[in-house]
Structure 1
């Protein structure tokens, strides 16, 4: 039995996000019936369709007919989850909206994943990732050489929406187990953008500069070697950077490099150009320096590292032959997921009626994960952001840090965004007294989350076996770079290393230089998958009564956010590739500069192409839909767009049913009425730093409030409150403080002083 065994899902979605959400639930044995229109899924010809719809049964229904709609309602009446991705207003017209269906079926989870937002004119556009990134400001976030938007080759926000859809549905199912009630769940394209691009802005400070295509820091950057091959130097922490400088024989320049990053960058560029890449990788790796070659995704997916990590499965397709696709992205020790079959037709009757779920206990709060306590040992981005996602869904997340703090800790928007909503506890787990206190926390916790390097948990004595001995119901989730199997398991790793080896950088750069994604792709993918996997384990615990270990890696997620791109079979069509400062993939699917701002267009039919040409007075050939992004047609369109004001042109194109949208710069996104109308942003206050602007939520729920309910904690900020909650006496607390086993800001521990003796560490 797996985590969602017996859960019935009717999936009415198409494309990527909705089918991917249902896929993840189906991987853990949810019974998924995918309902498709007579013409089929709009992305049925995409290789990713085979992966996004694995483990499902297919049923064709025409919802425009009374018979088709009646059959759909019959299925929904027997289901636990009904999943839709229609634009606002479409479900109401069909009588399949959340209010109608949840009133008729009180235990139903009505999950809606609209492509953009839930309201406003832009939310009614047809689903296209490039339009979503244009409207949300993401296209102007990616590092570039010129002052222009960048078309992302990978649909990162669609993948983020897909994983968050699965996590939110899982959270609602978990809550239903307690209350017996279903509810509406909404995970829009903007929720996907929120999870993928989470950092906040300190309103009293200027926004950070735009990223650089090769990396802004000399210690965390792409470098070209003497043979024209590229690699990424990922010395994020000072110790790794110092180790690299020593390995290169440049130790005498350490202080100069530290004081002048520009000088360091130019010096390293010159050094690496003197020898082939293989030489530099061998030298640096022999000194324990994190680095990786830039490669293509196809050999990466077919290679030894993925095989050793058991991250690749092969299924037989009756026409296409063997189809290789990524395995389930996380491993649950007691209730594992599996890839069982490709999508297949539904045979016979689907389901029989069964009793509505009975509540097992009072709801602990309005949010779906209310009452769940998470001990968050995660650091930097992947681990920390995973805890932040769980906090956003209502869990009580305690960020546990040593005296030196999370190495990513700062007052910057990244740290503040990834750690918002938590409470802070300072503890030195290397001390026996601190470990005993930690185990006291474990006894009352539901989840422990870490992203330690492989083997660190064992050295600290907090590995799963030790935790399970204290609390058999504990769910322990551990993230590392390359998984826990194979020769790479012990290596340190960072997001760009998997961007490099996993083919993401080469795909974005195309025939030119590789490109570092400014969005930390594999980190945010890992955070979302970890949140989903923990929620799956929580659902499993409601059935089995026991906890389990969850394991995943950045390497596994180097496939998750390019599921469709790595799905492989003989003769599959080629993936799109980018280029230097990529504006799009074709002349009619790219960004153009108008007289007063940028615009995004996506034409997929001859009628749309003709309407575009007529509006711009440009002759559009019959081959326009396949015309290259930088050919004659693109040049003619560039000239036509450049002379027209953006707002007037948008109005004319939309009137002609041409899918288009403004490409917003950062400041334009912050001021966008549409984004504020959709509750994308919120202003919140940090008690020390003042007002912050950040994303609001990663999902919304009809019966409970998602979102952050606490600001980002300072180091050890809530140590005093947490110690008192645990029932520790003041004398015991004083002993722990005196020994340095625990710590926190003096002001927050002052009420625990024993006899007036100052025993507190700032």
Structure 2
């Protein structure tokens, strides 16, 4: 059975984030009932609705009818999960959230406010908005550009991240319920989605200025970017890390760069004074041959690379088809609809897409009887620091996505052990933030006794996260067959670039390359150059998907006692992060194209420059009076309206421009920089970021809490362990004899290290 088989979910949300949670729960077996008003969800008929509501039932309830409110109450009493945007979704039916939790103590109430806690938003209307969230959190001004001003993203990546992470948190709460018997209130806000997607950008020294973003759209890393070949075709190169950077420079005949007195060391390629001229030299070489020749060279070198294509080709890519990431369903009103598949694989309890989005009022579920539980007993206070407290996870990942999976599981309370060689993860400095919260076990798995020592730890573990290629894993004895012989109940979650099947299976893949191949770069660039996302969005969202996969597998094991193997991939994540944009059906309107330093597609939905900054404006339906605001006639063109608003905005302060827009019924926010968001008193109070000591007497901002749990919240900042800092303690707790530990240490197979300085490396994006 699927991990969520037998669970009942009531979904009261609309938009993107909430319905995507319901979709993922349905994909893994839950019976999801979407509650709709008599007129239906406002998004019915759109690509977002057709995709995000697949496999669900539809229950039409009128909040103004007492009988319908009673129906909802009765359904909630026997549900396992209730999905809401905020408490207003319940209060519309006269239901108090606290009373509901007392009446249904096993219920997991998953709340997804658009911005911060308790449904409060800094913009008028309080609706879900990726654009306003990006502007006010500082991320829109962090994207690299030509002119250094805020940029509008054409994909709602923060809403997708919020949804994936909220699903992981909800499943973690259900896993905890299997042990305690109690439900709880889970809150994953829009800001939590921002932090999951961009925790590296929020980790800065408190005395450091905001980075200059007028660096062009190729990004800051000379060997990890996109390039144009002599035939005019664009391609991506994933030359990242101490192994691949010199390898690429040597192949291009540019190894002399490292001897230049301005460089001298690989890390200095990323210094602002260097990456410009270094990138120029590399671009010059790549412009001398056609794309096919360069891609052949990269493949021979073992460096990740790929052709930049448009997103409309991605669903049909042989690799996507081979891994079941392109599915087709028959929609009751739209006909055949193509859409992305399930972004992770569980071999022992696979997911399944159980049909199209429902017709209005099509309830496919059967009535449920209440489950037995601790009814009538007062709900306890916090019982453990995180819903996954008590579970042990070994993380063998490197670079970003693998370690970040472990860090997110640590955020959920698991005891996560980072398994790494004695020299450490090669991306430790640049990927410092993505290694928080884990203990470190340093082992040479190729050395005598290394694998045996690891297996001793696996015997008492619950899950392993790995990014080893299949052949390498088997040779080292860390594949599923080997690990399950040691611990039959182990969960193994493996990360790859392209998935388990298909022509690219086993090939190296990295975030930047998948951005280009999947169409994310061309979608953002529009008719201009392909744009590199400053955020490692595929890497970080993959971490959240990996954490979701582990949580689902642990839930299944709690119910059945069975371990299993699962997998997730960067290619699957690149598909999930364009979910609504990739949904296809006859008559679907084209996706909004981006452009150079894109500011928005319409005069009522874009960035505007004010006298002292920038403002993000967004219409709120019929209440927004664009003609009155612009002072133009009803037949004025969009260009005339935009010019009129822009001229007026430039005469005002950003704060005054926001007030002016609000007076005409628009949502608007001042566009902030990350340093301003970090210093927001409300966000500091809510632990959005932590201020903590750093090395050399400095202080730094570090990511704060990523979610809130009413009974099992983890608190406080998480540190990065030194390489092998806990090696002896971990081996001792695993039952390895003292003499054996000493032999491993003396031979160099195991390393006991010191705590790591809490510091940050160069910005590489």
Partner SS state of residue 150, structure 1: coil
Trace 1:29-108 onto structure 2 (pairs within 5 A). Answer: 29-86=29-86, 91-92=90-91, 94-108=93-107
Q: C-alpha displacement at 1:620, in angstroms? A: 5.6
Residue in structure 2 matched with residue 203 of structure 1 by the alignment:
206
Of residues 649, 670, 675 in structure 1, which corresponds to 2:678?
670
CA 1:370–1:571: 2 relative to 1, 3 Å: same
Provide the C-alpha distance between the structure 1 equivalents of 2:150 and 2:460, rounded to a whole number of angstroms: 48
Identify the range of structure 1 (112-121 vs 675-684) with the bigger mean alpha-carbon deviation. 675-684
Flag structure 1 segments of 5+ consecutive residues without an equivalent: 749-762
Contact 2:304 2:509 in 1 (8 A): yes
Give 1:219 deviation, angstroms.
0.8
Instruction: Name the counterpart of 1:173.
Output: 174
Kept after mapping to 1: 8 A contact 2:148/2:212:
no
Secondary structure (helix, strand or coil) at the match of 1:455 reads helix
- Asked whether the equivalents of residues 203 and 691 of structure 1 are also in contact (C-alpha less than 8 Å), the reply is yes
2-structure distance, mates of 1:637, 1:564 = 30
Q: CA deviation at 1:276?
A: 2.6
* 1:596, distance to aligned residue in structure 2 (A): 1.6
Moved more, 401-410 or 43-52: 43-52
| Counterparts of 2:211 and 2:655, CA distance in 1 | 28
RMSD: 2.4
Shift of 1:510: 0.4
1:420 aligned to 2:420? Answer: no
- Contact 1:377–1:450 under 8 Å retained in 2: yes
Is the 8 Å Cα contact of residues 69 and 94 (structure 2) preserved in structure 1? no
Of 422, 442, 456 in structure 2, the residue corresponding to residue 440 of structure 1 is 456
**2:332 & 2:672 partners in 1: Cα distance?**
45
2:508 counterpart of 1:492 = yes
Give CA deviations for 1:13-69 in whole Å, capped at 9, x if unaligned.
101100101111111100100011223223223312212111100111122332332
Aligned to 1:722: 730
How far off is 1:622 after superposition?
5.6
Matches within 5 A, 1:407-486: 407-410=426-429, 415-486=431-502
- Name structure 2 gaps, 5 residues minimum: 265-273, 757-765
Secondary structure at 1:639 match in 2: helix
2:642 aligned residue (634, 639, 643): 634
Q: Could you tell me how far apart the structure 2 residues matched to 1:154 and 1:746 are?
A: 42
285-294 vs 168-177, greater mean Cα deviation: 285-294
Q: Aligned equivalents of 2:717 and 2:596: distance in 1? A: 42
CA distance in 1, matches of 2:52, 2:596: 30
Kept in 2, the 8 Å contact 1:82–1:111? The answer is yes
Residues 121-151 of structure 1, C-alpha deviation per residue, up to 9 Å, x if partnerless? Answer: 5276222110111111111111111121111
Query: How far apart are residue 502 of structure 1 and its match?
Result: 0.2
2:287 to 273, 276, 298: 273
Matched residue SS, 1:432: coil
Equivalent residue runs for 1:278-677 within 5 Å = 278-344=292-358, 345-347=361-363, 350-357=366-373, 365-410=384-429, 415-610=431-626, 613-614=627-628, 616=629, 618-619=631-632, 621=634, 627=638, 631-677=639-685
8 Å CA contact retained: 1:594, 1:641:
yes
**Separation in 2 of the partners of 1:283 and 1:746?**
41
State the Cα deviation string for residues 283-312 of structure 1 (Å, max 9, x = none). 332333321111101112112121122211
Q: Is the contact made by 2:745 and 2:751 (CA closer than 8 Å) also made in structure 1? A: yes
Superposition map of 1:671-750 within 5 A: 671-685=679-693, 691-707=699-715, 710-745=718-753
The whole-number CA distance in structure 1 between the counterparts of 2:197 and 2:480 is 29
Shift of 1:669: 1.3
Partner of 2:135: 134
SS in 2 for 1:49: helix
Query: Would you say 1:222 and 2:226 are equivalent positions?
Result: yes
1:68-124 alpha-carbon deviations (Å, 9 max, x no partner): 3222112111211111113x6564564434312101111111111111112445276
CA deviation profile, 1:640-674 (whole Å, cap 9, x unmatched): 10001222232343344311111111222122234
Which residue of structure 2 aligns with residue 239 of structure 1?
Answer: 243
**Contact 2:115–2:121 under 8 Å retained in 1:** no
Q: Map of 1:741-760 to 2, 5 A cutoff?
A: 741-745=749-753
1 CA distance for matches of 2:64 and 2:9? 21
1:453 offset after TM fit, Å? Answer: 3.1
Is the Cα contact below 8 Å between 1:620 and 1:633 reproduced in 2? Answer: no
- Distance, in Å, in 2 between the alignment partners of 1:270 and 1:620 is 51
Other structure's SS at 2:122 match:
helix
Does the 8 Å contact 1:373/1:446 carry over to 2?
yes
1:732 to 1:284, Cα distance in 2 relative to 1, 3 A: closer
Following the alignment from structure 2 to structure 1, what is the Cα–Cα distance between the partners of residues 93 and 696? 50
Q: Is the 8 A contact 2:33 2:363 kept in 1?
A: no
**Alpha-carbon contact 1:311-1:326 (below 8 Å) kept:** yes
* 1:22 equivalenced with 2:22 (yes/no): yes
TM-score (norm 2): 0.91
CA contact (8 A) 2:21 2:167 kept: yes
Q: CA deviation at 1:207?
A: 5.0
Contact 2:398/2:426 (CA < 8 Å) preserved in 1? yes
Change (3 A) 1:647 1:215: closer
Matching of residue 116 in structure 1 with residue 110 in structure 2: no
d(CA) in 1 for partners of 2:678 and 2:424? 31
Q: CA deviation at 1:729?
A: 4.2
Q: Distance in 1 between matches of 2:609 and 2:390?
A: 50
Q: Note if contact 1:682-1:693 (Cα within 8 Å) is conserved in structure 2.
A: yes
1:756 maps to none
* Most deviating of 380-389 and 245-254: 245-254
1:356-382 alpha-carbon deviations (Å, 9 max, x no partner): 2479xx997242101010101111111
> CA, structure 1 residues 246+649, in 2 after alignment: closer, same or farther (shift >3 Å)?
closer
Q: CA deviation at 1:157?
A: 0.5
In structure 2, what is the Cα distance between the partners aligned to 1:159 and 1:348?
Answer: 27
Instruction: Give the Cα–Cα distance (whole angstroms) in 2 for the partners of residues 158 and 581 of structure 1.
Output: 21
Equivalents in 1 of 2:689, 2:277: separation in Å? 39
Offset at residue 417 of structure 1 (A): 2.1
- Going from structure 1 to structure 2, the CA distance change for 1:640 and 1:478 (only over 3 Å counts) comes to same
